Amino acid sequence: MRASVGDQLVQHGRVVGQHDQVSEVVEVMGSEGNPPYRVRFPDGHEAVMSPGPDCQIKHKEKEQQL
């Protein structure tokens, strides 16, 4: 999994009815786009995340092309 600043990190809900959590990558702390990432959630709080299999990266370039 590789990300760049500005990409979205989507953490899918783990149980039925739980919504996905979407955050924006504000810092890539690993080498060559690898985790961990500092992310910012819509409510403004930040966290350092090392995403697991329940996460996906939505790249900024792909979103702009659609």
Beta bridge partners of 46: 40
Q: For residue range 27-62, what is the model confidence (pLDDT) as tens digits?
A: 999 999 999 999 999 999 999 999 999 999 999 876
Q: What is the mean predicted confidence (pLDDT) over 12-33?
A: 93
DSSP readout, 5-65?
Answer: TT-EEEE--SSTTPPPEEEEEEEE-SGGGPSPEEEE-TTS-EEEE---TTEEEE-HHHHHH
pLDDT attached to residue 9: 97
Asked whether the predicted pLDDT for residue 63 surpasses 60, the reply is no
pLDDT value for 64: 57
Please state the rounded mean pLDDT for residues 10-37: 94
pLDDT band at 65 (very low <50, low <70, confident <90, very high): low
